[in-house]
A and B are shown apart, each in its own frame.
Chain A
Amino acid sequence: MPSGVSPEQAATTLVYRSCLLLDEKKFNEFLDLCTDEFHYTITAYSPEVRAEMTWMDEDKASMKRTLDVLPRHNSDHSPLSRHATVYTVDYDDSKKEASVVSALQVFKTSLDGGVTQLFAVAKLYDIISVNGAGARFVRRNVRLETRMLGIGSHIPF
């Protein structure tokens, strides 16, 4: 972590950098921002069945395996744009960890014509390790408000 940068600033920058890398589908570079014990989930609450839903549940290795074969799947190639706003950063100096809550909107732009539509609204709940080596994701939970995702997505938010 560069000198003069606070743990809060480092954690905030990491969240924004992750959005840029995911927008550019630089998945390996995104995973480089994560610790080996990284755990990624997408969850939502369903008022229809009154239960918690898990829609993606990956560790670093399984996420890499899934993303590596993505080009062999048939996927919607419409670009996604993530718009994040970091709301709160709570840094625990004893653990060298920051707990970060961010708002997230994901927009989808059609390849044919370039129409942009709001795809999903969510919050990011990140646990970020911040120490001398820099800031790295330990855990990310994408907590979706939007539960109707049309044809869905192969790309994590």
Chain B
Amino acid sequence: MSRNAVQFQQKPDFPASHFVDTRIYTDPQIFREEQEKIFKKVWMVACHESELANPYDYRTYQHPGGANLFLVRGDDMKIRCFYNFCTHRGNTLLRDPSGNAKHITCIFHMWSFDCRGSLSDVTREKEGYQSRIDKESLGLREVRAQVDFSGVVWVNLDDGCTDLESYIGEALDYLKEELSAEPLEVFHYHRAIVETNYKLWHDTNSEIYHDYIHYHNRKTGMMQKGYFDRKFHCFPNGHGRLDSMEIRYDAYEGTDGQRRLDWPRAPKACHKFIDLFPGVTYNLRSPTFRLDSMIPLGPAKVMIEYRGLAPKRDSAAERRQRVKDYIGIWGPFGRNLHEDLLAVRGQAQALAGVQSYILHAREEGLNSHDEIGMRHFYAEWTRRMGRSSSDPYAESVGTRDKVDRSAMAA
């Protein structure tokens, strides 16, 4: 039976953890709060260390908290992160997305900085400033950066943040063997700007009930023994993962049905993915590995970065095969990625201007199609935002008090 306007805005008859208010995906004010309370506080993926292989290699990064940053490998091989901001007049220092620069020199007035963030040269310094400036006090703003969990470069804008190891906890242990087996490098990189909310993309990465959208998955994966027995596991700080299964590539119609390569120390044709709050996914679909990271640009716009990673020691033939295996599913012309993105764009189109609720209510004993992954994410979101994801404006009596107490307790 269809519903009228009043009925459409009534809360579902589920616990509050099992649905969300659609306005958390569309409200600009909530997005600005997310920038302050989430993105500026948590560890985000900036790039992979292989993108900064040599001393003085740099890489720019548009942080979702709003700051433009760059990362540079120092003469001591340490990777550091700075605001991409000349301390003289605020011009952008590094304009290309990557490169190598022993001296980081602003094009505007040619002030120079070194790879450790120190101001090293001021043009016509004595003539203009005599002895009135202290270059020590005009260095770049450094941001916490750390390389870990298979060479990924993480950054955190909050100088007082918890350390990366504590933030990740045991969430990535399930891939520890596979990702520590050999040094990795990026072999594939592409970005997609999609008109959707970043949480909708992370939701899609957090549940596989949506395998119905994928021709390959609904016709193969869901038919396999054990598919529905995989358990979802929740970790502190909003992270989660699903148990692996062997993918039957031989059942993939429209492909040659083979995977000739393996991933070091990984079970044959395994599929392991781990979602990290608020928008990073490690996704091993042996023999290929994809790292997703998001740069939300607004309530209805997100830039997603996709990196394909492979063992550095791949032969040319192995690399070519790994590329083929990756792009057929996950590239910009791949089968599954396009389907996923169609769905999340469609959600954003449907949610625009609508106030209602959407469900995260499937309970299947934490098995494959249970929606615990999303419930777990929104519990963390609620804690950090001090707003209930199912009642973000505290319109239900007593909600604000409950959320505030919960946030304080956490």
Residues of A within 8 A of B (CB): 42, 46-51, 53-57, 62, 65-66, 68-69, 72-76, 147-154, 156
The answer to the question of B194 belonging to the interface, with a C-beta cut-off of 8 Å to chain A, is yes
Which among A48, A69, A147, A148 has the highest number of chain B CB atoms within 10 Å?
A48
B342 near A69: Cβ-Cβ < 8 Å: no
Interface segment, one of B130-138, B240-248, B333-341: B333-341
* Residue of B187, B215, B307 touching A72 (CB-CB under 8 A): B215
Contact status of A56 and B98, CB under 8 A, knowing A51-B189, A75-B338: no
B contacts with A, residue count (CB < 8 A): 40
The answer to the question of B256 belonging to the interface, with a C-beta cut-off of 8 Å to chain A, is yes
Report the separation of the CA atoms of residues A153 and B332 in the bound assembly, to the nearest whole angstrom. 6
* Residue of B96, B215, B341 touching A152 (CB-CB under 8 A): B341
B333 near A152: Cβ-Cβ < 8 Å: yes
Interface SS of B by simple majority: mixed
Interface segment, one of B281-289, B323-331, B371-379, B402-410: B323-331
Contacts of B213 in A (CB 8 A): 74
A151 near B254: Cβ-Cβ < 8 Å: no
Residues of B within 8 A of A (CB): 51, 59, 96-98, 186-194, 213-215, 219, 253-256, 307, 320, 323-324, 327-328, 331-335, 337-339, 341-343, 345
Report the separation of the CA atoms of residues A51 and B343 in the bound assembly, to the nearest whole angstrom. 30
Contact status of A151 and B327, CB under 8 A, knowing A48-B59, A156-B333: no
Report the separation of the CA atoms of residues A47 and B99 in the bound assembly, to the nearest whole angstrom. 9
B191 near A148: Cβ-Cβ < 8 Å: yes
Contact status of A151 and B186, CB under 8 A, knowing A49-B98, A55-B327: no
Closest to A74 in B: B339
Which among B59, B193, B215, B343 has the highest number of chain A CB atoms within 10 Å?
B215
Top 5 nearest A-B pairs (CB, nearest first) are A69-B254, A151-B341, A152-B332, A152-B338, A49-B189
B256 near A62: Cβ-Cβ < 8 Å: yes
Closest to A48 in B: B97
Q: 29 A-B Cβ contacts within 8 A?
A: A46-B190, A47-B96, A47-B97, A49-B51, A50-B51, A53-B188, A54-B324, A55-B332, A56-B333, A57-B323, A65-B254, A65-B255, A66-B335, A69-B253, A74-B213, A76-B338, A147-B190, A147-B191, A148-B191, A148-B192, A148-B193, A149-B192, A151-B194, A151-B345, A152-B192, A152-B332, A152-B337, A153-B333, A153-B338
